[in-house]
Amino acid sequence: MTQPSVPKKRILSGVQPSGKLHLGNYLGAVRQHIAAQNEGECHYFIADYHALTTVHDPAALRAHVLDVALDYFSLGLDPEKTIFFRQSDIPEVCELSWILSTVAPMGLLEKAVSYKEKVEKGLDSSVGLFTYPVLMAADILAYRSHLVPVGRDQVQHLEITRDLAVKFNNRFGDTFPLPDYRLTPASKVPGTDGQKMSKSYGNTIDIFAEGKALKKAVMGVVTDSKTVEEAKDPSTCTVFALHALFATPEQGEELKERYQAGGMGYGAAKTELLALIDQHFAQAREKRRELAKDMGQISEWLRQGALKARAVAGATLDLVRSRCGLR
């Protein structure tokens, strides 16, 4: 069977709808997704199949999906340029996940660090959580993707994807291109407690938080106990690290000098950080308010994206089935 044609560069990534998107999501993924829209053919999806490993409230999951979509469109995702869709609207990925599982060595999945870490944090050790990398591989390979922007914690999953693609190609013939990954400079964003920002740690600052909620989150960033008069070390300060993600080089250098000179309290630094975050998202916040008035349009954009994505995934599955002897 002839392979379906693939554009010179197909970019794919996904985001889990497990709650409000936060600065870690924005700086580690969303911003990069938006910037890549003119770089190639982009497929971005809301990973609601994956979210079932942690979100067990149907109403909450549906609400989170629409919230994520609204956030992306507000931040600049263009539905005319980018194929943006719900993962669960593409059943082909589940079929491909099963087919890939037949070439996936148990030992490969047992080495997945993410599974071990999540179980250690108290998540149920379900089969779904264990086989998460296989479904992720199906997400990527269903669109025969070339480039996958990810955070550093997902790099091992990309390596598993490449391994599964090689095993399938070796067994059934050349079918899948081997995808590469791209990290962002801000792939690790500190949370309010200094650990990696994560909903599971309860240390996030939501992208569209404003007013008292934003102020409470920023002013709650943990610092050491140095007094206003004492010099401070910017390299160990979470406030400074977050400030650097939004400040210009000149603003960053000025704050560094004030830290090292002493005479500046953490409260003043947090106030500057608050202003930077508030200003950075001001325009997108206004756009979000306007888009939220017509959620039917958001759903329609997702539906249109799913139609385009299914056409691509369907062509891939036709080829895969033929290669495996299922046709």
Q: Which residues are catalytic?
A: 118, 196, 199
* Residue 197, burial from CB neighbour count under 10 angstroms (0-12, 13-18, 19+): buried
Partners of 181 in the beta sheet? 148
Rounded Cα–Cα distance for residues 109 and 132 (Å): 9
Rounded Cα–Cα distance for residues 53 and 135 (Å): 12
Rounded Cα–Cα distance for residues 312 and 92 (Å): 10
Rounded Cα–Cα distance for residues 161 and 181 (Å): 11
Rounded Cα–Cα distance for residues 23 and 71 (Å): 12
What b/e string do you get for 204-241 counting C-beta neighbours within 10 Å, with b at 16 or more? Answer: bbbbbbeeeebeebbeebebeeeeeeeebebeebbbbb
Cβ neighbours of residue 319 closer than 8 Å, sequence gap 6 or more: 1, 3, 4, 175
Rounded Cα–Cα distance for residues 83 and 140 (Å): 14
Six-digit token string for 71: 């956030």
Q: Transcribe 166-201 into DSSP letters.
A: HHHHHHH-S-----EEE--TTSS-B-TTSSB--GGG
Rounded Cα–Cα distance for residues 6 and 197 (Å): 36
Six-digit token string for 258: 């004030």
**β-strands 147-149, 41-46 pairing:** unpaired
